[in-house]
Structure formats: structure tokens, C-alpha cells
Amino acid sequence: MNNTDRKEPNILVTGTPGVGKSLICKTLAEKTGLAWLDVSALAVENKCVESYDEVYKCPILDEDKLLDLMEDIMSKGGQIVDYHGADFFPERWFDIVFVLRTDTTILYDRLVERGYKGKKLEDNIDCEIFQTILEEAKASYRTEIVHELSSNTMDQVTENVNRICQWIEQWKLDNQK
């Protein structure tokens, strides 16, 4: 799939749970008309789940089945993909990758509010401290398409949405036929 075959870009918005991916993706979809693809929900709805992780209280994805399901969707373009991982999607799918980052004190409060505790809470905070998702994205995609965005406040969310909207407009200008 060549980027120029699509009329609209595909965007990956990734980061540790609690950094604001869904809020940004929902807002972007409303402002741009692009489709918001919540990968976790898509996987559950389409039975792309192998089992259930009792420690983390979440489904374990059948990645191959999920990727097969997503291939046609992604080839059309215009997708805002929302997922807390970056390393199993094909690089060709994305024109740009945004990794949201949040101060760990703020993230801790958000995750506790969601009911995270014990190992799940600790591991997600560690994931943010050690920049796990950012490093995963940098290892999986061309560095020039990976962008780190701070997502601590509503003002930053608004700035990030506006920045991504500007990027989308520029992509469309650059890829007109």
C-alpha cells in the first residue's frame, strides 16, 4: 500500500493507558471526519482475542487475526488508530505516529481513577517512566514519522488536536493528485 494511493492519511495515536489517546482520537475524528479505530474495541467486537489475562484484567489479542481484519480498513486510508502498543502494526499502514506522554504523577491519578491497582498500576507507570511505548514506536517506524506529544492538561490536548489537524491538511496538500 503506497501512501499516495490513499486520499486521506492513516495516523497512529499510541501511548501508555491513561495518557489521553481516546480523547484525542474522538476529538480528531469529530473535527476531521476521519474514522476513529479503537483497536481494543475492534478486537473484542470481532473476536480477535485469544484469551483473558487475569493479572491485568484484559483480553489478549490474536494479533494475526486482528491484522487480517484491519488490512482492508487501513488500505482505504482516513483512519485514526488508537492503541496502547505500536510494535505489531505494519509500518506501511501509517503516515505518522503520535506517542502521547503524561507526567507520571498525573498518570498515576488517572489510572487509580480508572480502578487500576497493584501490578497493573505499577507496570503502566513503569511503562511511562521508561518511555516503553515511545521506544517501541521509534523501533517500529521511521524516526521522522514518530512524534512525541505531552498530554498532561486539556490545553495540551487542544494544542495536540490542532497540531494534528494542521498536519492532516498539509498531508492532503502534499498528496493531491
**Residue 140 annotated in ligand binding:** no
Sign of CA dihedral 101, 2, 81, 166: positive
**Residue 18 annotated in ligand binding:** yes
Radius of gyration of the chain (CA): 16
**Residue 151 annotated in ligand binding:** no
Check: CB of residue 96 under 8 Å from CB of residue 27: no
* Helix/strand/coil percent split, the chain, to 5: 55, 20, 30
**Interatomic CA distance for residues 98 and 45, integer angstroms:** 25
**Residue 21 annotated in ligand binding:** yes
**Residue 92 annotated in ligand binding:** no
Q: Which residues are annotated as a binding site for ATP?
A: 18, 20-22, 114
